[in-house]
């Protein structure tokens, strides 16, 4: 999830663990702990694109990280703060570290919660930014913040924030189930034979859902809103995997294919080949759109080294997408 949401979650968890003993400092340290796992983005500046992508939401989002580093941070804070309970601080950092990847596991990217096993947990029921999850949670946290440390209302507001946000997260599982059922029904009605289907919420909401459908030679992309009155339609995108040629044997290419979970197409342009990660969809709801959220140019130098360079996104595409999404959410 986005940084603000993780800060709110971390602060609420910190309050639940040590709020009655240290007051607002529990929220402060919980908020700090809630952001620490995302420091893995530093890899973007230290290594190549493929490696940075594989590291993202890896070790720092694992149970191993939570267990190993919670006592370290707990010890450091216990030496600095007047409240010197090592166990209490360690418990705060553990739960703030642990709940961070648990929440991220509901997003499309998912987490390697069970690192070092090669398994990414991704339920794909909530977008990385969802106001319906974050805003009520924030309001309850603010209400708790203004109460005295031992006040019952403080405990109540914080508990309600955790409860309401968790219930919404649970609701997204049922919404995904309902949307997936609609996609599968549409495919059956249209007599489309497919190999696999993958569904996820569109940006900023859980009313509009997107689906990737794999067929023999192409991927079908479709959308469904719970307010739709017309049948679901699918746009076809040829896989074009054969365009990779001998590049398919290169280690960076194999890693990118694994990262995308094989949901990818190849596009050939005048300046070379492009790798399109379909898991995150398009920056447009228009039919036959080609501007994928994550698109990478594939390049190979004279020594045979293959690199991937992410195509920069146009901010105007993002603004346009927000308007298109609002229109699409209201139904077709």
pLDDT for position 284: 84
Element (DSSP H or E) covering residue 276: strand 272-282
pLDDT at 318: 79
Place of tokens 């909530």: 126
- According to DSSP, residue 121 is labeled B
β 292-300/218-225 pair status? unpaired
| Range in 59-68, 72-81, 104-113, 276-285 the model is least confident about | 276-285
- Confidence band (pLDDT; 50, 70, 90) for 136? very high
Under 8 Å between Cβ of 279 and 200: yes
Please give the pLDDT value at position 148.
93
Query: For position 249, what pLDDT does the model report?
Result: 94
pLDDT for 105 beyond 90: yes
Band (153; pLDDT cuts 50, 70, 90): very high
**Residue 240 in tokens:** 């074009």
Contacts of 109 (CB under 8 A, 6+ apart): 56, 57, 122, 128, 279
Report how far residue 166's alpha carbon sits from residue 169's, in angstroms, rounded to the nearest whole number: 5
Q: Is the model's pLDDT at 316 over the cut of 90?
A: no
Report the alpha-carbon distance of residue 308 to residue 304 in Å, rounded.
Answer: 13
Mean pLDDT value across the chain? 95
Q: Mean of the pLDDT values across residues 68-87? A: 96
Going by C-beta distance under 8 Å and a sequence separation of 6 or more, which residues neighbour residue 184? 197
Place of tokens 């991704």: 122
Q: Which tens digit of pLDDT belongs to each residue from 276-315?
A: 999 999 988 877 778 899 999 999 999 999 999 999 888 7
Residue 88 has pLDDT above 90, yes or no: yes
**Which sign does the torsion angle of CA 106, 107, 113, 118 carry?**
positive
Confidence at residue 191, expressed as pLDDT on a 0 to 100 scale:
97
Beta bridge partners of 210: 200, 223
Task: Specify the pairing of strand 264-269 against strand 234-238.
Answer: unpaired
Long-range pairs for 291-295 at CB < 8 Å and ≥24 separation? 291/317, 295/267
pLDDT of residue 289: 78
Asked if 37 and 65 count as a contact pair (C-beta separation under 8 A), the reply is: yes
pLDDT at 61: 97
Distance CA 143, CA 135 (A): 13
User: Does 205 have pLDDT greater than 90?
Assistant: yes
At 271, the pLDDT band (50, 70, 90 cuts) reads confident
pLDDT (average), residues 239-266: 96
Q: Mean per-residue pLDDT for 152-166?
A: 98
Give pairs for 22-28: CB < 8 Å, separation 24+.
22/81, 22/83, 22/149, 23/149, 24/145, 24/149, 25/81, 25/83, 26/92, 27/141, 27/145
Query: Residue 322 and residue 200: Cα distance in Å, rounded?
Result: 17
- Residue 275's DSSP bridge partners are 266, 296
71-85, 209-223, 316-330: segment of lowest average pLDDT: 316-330
């Amino acid at each position: 999830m986005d940084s603000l949401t993780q800060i709110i979650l971390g602060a609420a968890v910190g309050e639940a663990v040590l709020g009655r003993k240290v007051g607002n400092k529990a929220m402060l340290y919980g908020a700090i702990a809630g952001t620490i796992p995302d420091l893995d983005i530093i890899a973007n500046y230290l290594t190549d694109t493929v490696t940075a992508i594989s590291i993202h939401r890896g070790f720092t989002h694992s149970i191993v990280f939570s267990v190993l580093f919670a006592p370290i941070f707990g010890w450091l804070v216990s030496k600095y703060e007047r409240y010197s309970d090592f166990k209490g601080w360690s418990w705060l950092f553990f739960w703030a570290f642990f709940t961070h990847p648990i929440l991220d596991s509901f997003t499309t990217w998912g987490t390697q919660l069970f690192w070092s096993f090669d398994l990414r947990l991704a339920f794909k029921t909530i977008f990385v930014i969802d106001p319906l999850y974050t805003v009520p949670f924030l309001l309850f946290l603010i209400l708790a913040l203004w109460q005295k440390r031992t006040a019952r209302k403080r405990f109540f507001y914080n508990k309600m924030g955790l409860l309401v946000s968790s219930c919404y997260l649970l609701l997204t599982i049922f919404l995904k189930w309902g949307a997936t059922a609609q996609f599968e029904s549409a495919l059956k009605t249209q007599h489309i034979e497919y190999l696999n289907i993958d569904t996820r919420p569109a940006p900023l909401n859980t009313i509009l859902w997107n689906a990737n459908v794999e067929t023999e030679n192409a991927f079908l992309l479709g959308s469904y809103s719970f307010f739709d009155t017309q049948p679901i339609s699918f746009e076809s995108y040829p896989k074009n995997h054969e365009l990779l040629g001998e590049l398919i044997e290169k280690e960076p290419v194999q890693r990118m294919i694994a990262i995308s979970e094989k949901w990818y197409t190849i596009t050939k342009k005048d300046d070379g080949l492009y790798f399109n990660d379909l898991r995150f969809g398009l920056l447009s709801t228009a039919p036959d759109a080609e501007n994928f959220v994550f698109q990478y140019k594939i390049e190979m130098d004279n020594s045979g080294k293959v690199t991937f360079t992410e195509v920069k996104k146009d901010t105007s595409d993002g603004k346009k997408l927000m308007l298109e999404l609002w229109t699409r959410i209201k139904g077709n």
